[in-house]
Amino acid sequence: MSPGPAPIIVKLDGAEKHFGAVRALEGVDFSASAGECVGLVGHNGAGKSTLMQVLAGALAPDRGRITVAGAIQEHFSVTRAQKLGIRCVFQELSLCPNLSVAENARINHPSLRGMTWRRKAARLIAEKLDEIFPGHDIAASTIVRDLSIGRRQMVEVARAFTITQDPLDLVILDEPTSSLDAHTASQLLAFVRRFVAGGKSCVLISHLLGEVLKNADRIVVMRDGKVAAADAVSAFDRDSLVAVMGGAVRRANPALEGARPVQEGRALRIRARPARQGNGAELVAGEGEIVGLAGLSGHGQTDLLLAIFSAAGRHKAGIEVNAPVALVAGDRQSDGIFPQWSISENIGIRSLAKLRNGLLISPRREAELARVWQQRIHIRTPDMDHNILSLSGGNQQKVLFARALGSDARIVLMDDPMRGVDVGTKLEVYDLLREEARNGRTFLWYTSEIDELDNCDRVYVFRNGRIVAHLDRSDMTEEKVIQSSFSDAN
């Protein structure tokens, strides 16, 4: 019936992108043709966002070739992508909150100029909103700051579909329904189907697998910076998607096979309920336990850790903390290290009371503490008095662990601390954590890497700020964790 294959709008061959030691894309081939909606799924850090930014011209790949409408692109950029009819709705909201809805539309359309630009911009965005979300209540003159987050997302999506002088062939939607309610989400997805039926193309990135299975024509599954599977939607179902995303075989971890004491009879250290929990589920951690916090990133794990941290200082409703707390930050550059200070000073800051000599800090005791931890955690430096920035990233992270473990804290909160840390360092730290747990320390460990959950006694899975699953070590598998992280219950 069809006169041959549909024309390919955009094609990516062997795209590679590295951020330092992190390999976000490792030779990815990808294409989107006219008249199809491509679903793109994968777990955290699988490389979806990087791939999308490369397609939209926001990131230049280290290696690989981009072809748009049959022409190889040498100097691809956002402006060039726009000219060629490729638009992208980025995940973090990219509206200017201080401008009106119409003025935000003007930002994406340089041709909206002259005396009547305000009226033209208002009409452009209002018509598109009417088309995608019939019955919406957004006025073009409203300042974006005054809109709810869901309405902002509606404006942002509608803006991506507005057309003035440049063509529009492909729209990349990154989690477009994350802030929409069920009704507006279905309006949007119905519009996407109409858009695609009109011979255009769409890339739909979503964590809601049901949404992708229902609306995509083809699904590309990414894993560890590579395309793990790509096929027509009919070739997949929920379970097979989950299996491809997470890998079927669970890595054996012999170091942990030894029996660990059961939880009964341990002193309770933490009892906490997420602010948005809604039901009775709560997080409980006892003395000497390593408790994992899992789920997709940004689903409330860090919020809960910070709430527990502040509850240690003063009373907070719904959270009970029975021992001193230390936090190991994940974003070490902004939340962790003091860049002007030496390694020793960075370690000692959490233990000042112990290091004090009268009103002053005793340099001798500070050096002593640093020396002990240099040996225990193997910080590779000729001199602990050197500046912290002289260390590699992995060793800087070790310093943050030393700061927490060297303190009097009996509870250590870890906010995805192994981000961008090399494998050798990780294994050393894992051993140390287990040893400290045997000595009675409690660890709450949020991690975005599923493999790390092998080190935990129990795991709580988070979704939308709530605990949705509590998995014991005996029945914890990677599939179960992914399954709960992607639970479509909204």
Partner 1 sequence: MAPLREGARKAALGATASARLVRAWLPALSLGLVLVAIAYLNPRAISYFGFSLMLNLAIPIVLATIAQMFVITGNELDLSIGPFVGFVGCVTATWLNDAPWLGVAALVGAIGVYAALGALIYLRNLPSIVVTLGMSFVWQGLAILMLPKPGGKAPDWLVGIAGFTPPLVPLPIVAAVAIAAIVHFGLMRTSYGAILRGSGGNPTALARAGWSLLKTKVVLFALAGLFGVLSGMTLISITTSADANIGNGYTLLAIAGVILGGGEFVGGRVSPIGAVVGALTMALAASPLLTFMHIPPDWQVAANGAILIIVLAARALVSRRED
Interacting residue ranges for partner 1, rule: CB under 8 A: 58, 78-79, 82, 90, 94-99, 103-104, 106-108, 110, 112-114, 117-118, 146
Separation CA 225–CA 234 (nearest Å): 24
> At 264, which amino acid appears?
E
Work out how close the CB of 208 gets to partner 1 at its nearest, in angstroms, rounded to a whole number: 24
> At 389, which amino acid appears?
L
Phi and psi torsions of 73, nearest 5°: -100, 120
Q: Which of 247, 179, 238 is nearest to 211 (CA)?
A: 238
**Residue number with CB closer to partner 1 (160 or 213):** 160
Work out how close the CB of 436 gets to partner 1 at its nearest, in angstroms, rounded to a whole number: 41
**Residue number with CB closer to partner 1 (147 or 307):** 147
Separation CA 272–CA 285 (nearest Å): 9
Beta strands 170-174 and 86-89 are parallel
Separation CA 219–CA 413 (nearest Å): 38
DSSP class of 161: T
Residue 170's SS3 state is: strand
Work out how close the CB of 310 gets to partner 1 at its nearest, in angstroms, rounded to a whole number: 20
**Residues contacting residue 285 through CB under 8 Å, at least 6 positions apart:** 268, 269, 270, 291, 411, 442, 444
Work out how close the CB of 480 gets to partner 1 at its nearest, in angstroms, rounded to a whole number: 34
Beta bridge partners of 272: 283, 319
**Residue number with CB closer to partner 1 (92 or 475):** 92
Separation CA 245–CA 229 (nearest Å): 9
**Residue number with CB closer to partner 1 (166 or 454):** 166
Work out how close the CB of 8 gets to partner 1 at its nearest, in angstroms, rounded to a whole number: 25
**Residue number with CB closer to partner 1 (111 or 439):** 111
**Residue number with CB closer to partner 1 (107 or 275):** 107
Work out how close the CB of 110 gets to partner 1 at its nearest, in angstroms, rounded to a whole number: 7
Work out how close the CB of 485 gets to partner 1 at its nearest, in angstroms, rounded to a whole number: 28
**CB-count burial class (<10 Å; 0-12, 13-18, 19+) for 212:** buried
Helix or strand run (H / E) with residue 312? helix 301-313
**Residues contacting residue 183 through CB under 8 Å, at least 6 positions apart:** none
**Residue number with CB closer to partner 1 (82 or 425):** 82
CA distances in angstroms from 273 to 280, 283, 318, 482, listed in the order given: 8, 6, 6, 22
Work out how close the CB of 118 gets to partner 1 at its nearest, in angstroms, rounded to a whole number: 7
**Residue number with CB closer to partner 1 (183 or 214):** 183
**CB-count burial class (<10 Å; 0-12, 13-18, 19+) for 378:** middle
**Residue number with CB closer to partner 1 (99 or 228):** 99
Question: Chain-centre distance of CA 237, in angstroms?
Answer: 24
Work out how close the CB of 141 gets to partner 1 at its nearest, in angstroms, rounded to a whole number: 12
